[in-house]
Amino acid sequence: MRLQQILFKLSVPVIAVALGLLVGGIIMMSSGYDAFYAYSSLFSVIFTDPYYIGETVRQMSPLIMSGLAVAFAFRTGLFNIGVEGQLLVGWLASVYMGITVEGVPAFIHVPLAILAAAAAGALWGVVPGYLKARFRVHEVITTIMMNYIALHVTNSIIRNHMLAPGERTEDIQSSASLSSLFLQEITDYSRLHYGIIVAILAAVLMWYLLWKTTTGYELRAVGFNQHASNYAGINVSKNIILSMCISGGFAGVAGAMEGLGTYQYMTINAAFSGVGFDGIAVALLGANSAIGIILAAGLFGGLKIGALNMQAMAQVPPELITIVIALIIFFVASSYLVHWLRNRINKRGKI
Amino acid sequence: MEYVIEMRDIRKEFPGIVANDNITLQVQKGEIHALLGENGAGKSTLMNVLFGLYQPEKGEIRVRGKKVEITDPNIANKLGIGMVHQHFMLVENFTVTENIVLGQEPRRRAQVDIKSAAKKVEEISRQYGLRVDPYARIEDISVGMQQRVEILKTLYRGADILIFDEPTAVLTPQEIKELIQIMKRLIAEGKSIILITHKLKEIMEVCHRCTVIRRGKGIGTVDVADTNREELASMMVGRDVSFTTKKEKGNPQQEVLEIKNLVVKDSRGIPAVKGLDLTVRFGEIIGIAGVDGNGQTELIEAITGLRNAESGEIHLNGKEITNLKPRKVTESGLGHIPQDRHKHGLVLDFSIGENMVLQTYYQEPYSKYKQIKAPEIFKKANQLIDQFDVRTPSVHTEARALSGGNQQKAIIAREVDRSPDLLIAAQPTRGLDVGAIEFIHSKLIEERDANKAILLLSFELDEIMNVSDRIAVIYEGKIIAIVNPKEVTEQDLGLLMAGSKRTGKEEN
């Protein structure tokens, strides 16, 4: 029974991914590209070529973090669309700590910079949480607005206080860096860094918080039924704010992955990075579970990185992979339609 | 004899269970035919088969003597079968007329001709004595009137066989009386009615014949005139059921709850409880009788901490609990079986085990150092499930999947198990069958005999009269009389609830 349930849960994302790739392939063929060659050049490198493997894993860590942020809020009944903004302030906070703190060893400096990122993201999440708890303002609206505020505030701070040549900040101190020569060497000099360990630890933390603590029990109860939670003596407002705080914290650490890992600095951004929004897709495909998010981040990370080789080998533009990802999300969303139809047919007794 | 509806040997299976096992139902023209059974006996399944929502595996359906295949509700509608659902299917912010004509709007060019529709609605409502305001919005009218709108919907579509699915579950005693009048009027006009219910009193009052089903099997059809409540109950449950709750005389002791001059506003900001005084003692059950909307809900919410009081004092065990948070009130020794079990009583998406510790999850042994101890929680849940006969596949089953009676038993198990000094039971048996009601009443009395206090709120006069040691009558936000159930008649109580003074003399 239990195994059957697990297989059933897995069937939705697996079928969605297969259909997404299939329809994506049809689009490629109808545009005159060789779909088989395109896919084989995509998948062969992300499974065999050390450089592409390294890049895929590097790409995964911010995706996992932003996926966790979306999923955590969702588990408590909130739509955190503000992961992007929380990520940007987290990125800046981590880079700021990385530059200004001097003369401390890495085992203090790295956690300090990551915690600063989490704190900045949490702060950015608490604002919509408070507005929701206190004034019933819908979090979707406030988090979207907070995204724009984050984009322009971070740009302004970099421009006015931290500017280095090239529309960016200086590099962080090496003591704050997550990058590792060892990891780079074994992956043919990709930009792989230790961030993936942080991301996996964060996934474990989310699972533990939600399912193994009284805090998680309260958060889930509030997410499902605020009235019953209130009746049971759970402070609903406190839990809404707490949920947005933790979610924002995860998002902030996603920014630290970029700031301390991949780039070692922060640029002035003309537009959103997109990683925060990808988090929504990751959480959806991963069914808001810690393991699912890691797997989904692996898939999306792999597709994005593999697309580069697909372009090089089969001359297929990487935008097509964006379409494939969109299709996968579409099929995951419509799988609920499939479930619904199946239940309905079962009820009527017409199999 | 020709039947308007004849369902012969209907069999309907769902994965794992047989919901209907060769049931036969024959309805004569112009009768009110009761379909009686416990919660989950298969009544609704059978009616959904008749209404075209389910297809039976076996059996045949004849309407007015002709064999038919009802594969969807539209076919049922065409055959003149209409269903009045228990949970109304109405668009809240549409008017009465708009709801009635929805899907079959009369048109004038491209526009809906609402005027002629309203006229037709008025005509039908006059013919059958169904009082409604065609232009009122659904959200502004009472539950009783919403139900009349549901009935009008079926009549507007030309139904002459009406299925009522537990129509009285949501109504006040006054509205039930009106509904019974309406049903009598409908058959006088030549309609036939199938009444799904588990309330024996109503069957005895209006029905001509009664078909009983138990655990998916047809037990038989009887003429109501030739039977009595006891016989019907034992047919339904499969054993003898007692109606007068057995209880010894209570032994009330010192006071546990004291309410002084309490004022509470409702959600619109209008005072609903207006200077109310009430005392409850250990070892007694106080029943609160009153017509819905006289401040009962606000009173209970104020005691339990779900709503703030404007003024006045509430003392529990000598300690003031006025306007404390729900958790503080709970920890002071209060248990609460809430009126709305889906909204307040359960987190439906949680497992039944998780629901069993809704107020105690943060205490040992269910958690330690903020870490949940799942084995302890499920051990406790298993014990409560056994003790209170909650029927569930396992403690890991979502609360949503349980039947109403079992959900209610789970809530009662949780509240009684904490052994609170004062247990507030708000409509604890609403929508439940006699077996479950008997069980819940005996549990309440057991608690009383264990020297706990119980405050019972119910709109069922039978329940109040049967279970309470004292009855407090609430009217317009005040307790206007305290009476002994052994010394008062239902009529007197009804008059008190309508606001007349103690002697029961009419005052205009």
Give me the DSSP letters along A136-181: ---HHHHHHHHHHHHHHHHHHHHHHHS-BTTTBPPPPPGGG--B-H
pLDDT of residue B505: 41
Residue segments in chain B with a per-residue pLDDT below the cut of 70: 1, 16, 242-246, 501-508
Eight-state DSSP code of residue B190: T
Q: Is residue A295 part of a domain?
A: no
Q: What is the dihedral of CA A32, A37, A43, A44, to 10 degrees?
A: -160
Q: Which residues contact B47 (CB under 8 A, 6 or more apart)?
A: B35, B83, B163, B165, B194, B196
B215 conformational bin, left if phi > 0, alpha if psi -120 to 50, beta if neither? left
**What is the number of structural domains in chain A?**
1
Note which residues in 28-67 of chain A have CB less than 8 A from chain B: none
Encoded amino acid at A206, one letter:
M
Note which residues in 222-251 of chain A have CB less than 8 A from chain B: 224-225, 227-235
A350 touching chain B per CB within 8 A: yes
Note whether A213 contacts B371, CB cutoff 8 Å: yes
Beta bridge partners, B482, equal B472
Interface test with chain A among B306, B343, B347, B351, by most A beta carbons within 10 Å:
B347
Predicted ipTM of the assembly: 0.82
The beta-carbon neighbor of B361 closest among A217, A230, A347 is A217
Residues of B in contact with A347 (CB under 8 A): 53-54
**Cβ B345 vs Cβ B335: under 8 Å:** no
Examine residue B365 and say whether the peptide bond preceding it is cis (omega within 30 degrees of 0). Answer: yes
Q: Is residue A337 part of a domain?
A: no
Residues of B in contact with A215 (CB under 8 A): 370
Segment B461-490, tens digit of pLDDT: 888 998 999 999 999 899 999 999 988 888
Q: How near does any CA of chain A get to the CA of B461, in Å?
A: 27
**Cβ B276 vs Cβ B308: under 8 Å:** no
Q: Is residue A61 part of a domain?
A: yes
Closest residue in chain B to residue A350, using alpha carbons only: B55
Domain with A65 in it? 56-285
Q: Is residue A35 part of a domain?
A: no
CB pairs under 8 A between A and B: 76
Residues of A in contact with B54 (CB under 8 A): 347-349
The beta-carbon neighbor of A233 closest among B56, B326, B349 is B326
Closest residue in chain A to residue B367, using alpha carbons only: A214
CA separation (Å) from A311 to A40, A210, A303, B260?
Answer: 12, 41, 12, 80
Eight-state DSSP code of residue B244: S
- Could you tell me where the DSSP H helices lie in chain A? 2-30, 35-48, 50-75, 83-100, 106-135, 139-161, 181-186, 195-212, 214-224, 226-231, 236-256, 275-285, 290-314, 319-348
| Structure tokens that stand for A309 in this block | 């080789």
Q: Is residue A326 part of a domain?
A: no
Indicate the burial class of B185 (C-beta count within 10 angstroms; 0-12, 13-18, 19 or more).
middle
State CA B414 to chain mean position distance.
21
Per-residue tens of pLDDT for chain A, all 351 residues: 467 777 777 778 888 899 899 999 999 999 999 999 999 999 998 899 999 999 999 999 999 999 999 999 998 889 999 999 999 999 999 999 999 998 899 999 999 999 999 999 999 999 999 999 999 999 999 999 999 999 999 999 999 999 888 889 999 998 999 988 899 888 888 899 999 999 999 999 999 999 999 999 999 999 999 999 999 999 999 999 999 999 999 999 999 999 999 999 999 998 998 899 999 999 999 989 999 999 999 999 999 999 999 988 889 898 888 899 899 988 888 876 666 666 665 554 443
Rounded Cα gap, residues A242 and B410, in angstroms: 30
Q: Is residue A22 part of a domain?
A: no
Residues of A in contact with B330 (CB under 8 A): 233
Rounded Cα gap, residues A350 and B168, in angstroms: 33
Q: Is residue A226 part of a domain?
A: yes
pTM of the model: 0.79
Residues of A in contact with B16 (CB under 8 A): none
Q: Is residue A49 part of a domain?
A: no
| Structure tokens that stand for B119 in this block | 């006229």
Reduced to 3 states (helix: H, G, I; strand: E, B; else coil), residue B453 is strand
Note whether A217 contacts B325, CB cutoff 8 Å: no
The beta-carbon neighbor of B362 closest among A214, A224, A350 is A214
Interface test with chain A among B358, B398, B424, by most A beta carbons within 10 Å:
B358
Length of chain A: 351
Rounded Cα gap, residues B85 and B149, in angstroms: 11
Residues of A in contact with B344 (CB under 8 A): 227-228, 230-231
Rounded Cα gap, residues B183 and B164, in angstroms: 10
Closest residue in chain A to residue B366, using alpha carbons only: A214
A215 touching chain B per CB within 8 A: yes
* Long-range pairs of B215-218 with CB within 8 A, sequence gap ≥ 24: B215/B41, B215/B42, B216/B17, B216/B18, B216/B19, B216/B20, B216/B21, B216/B23, B216/B41, B216/B42, B217/B21, B217/B22, B217/B23, B218/B21, B218/B22, B218/B23, B218/B24, B218/B25
The secondary structure of B108-130 as a DSSP string is ETTEE-HHHHHHHHHHHHHHHT-
Note whether B304 contacts A228, CB cutoff 8 Å: no
Q: How near does any CA of chain B get to the CA of A231, in Å?
A: 6
Q: How near does any CA of chain A get to the CA of B200, in Å?
A: 30
Q: How near does any CA of chain A get to the CA of B10, in Å?
A: 14
Residues of A in contact with B53 (CB under 8 A): 347-348
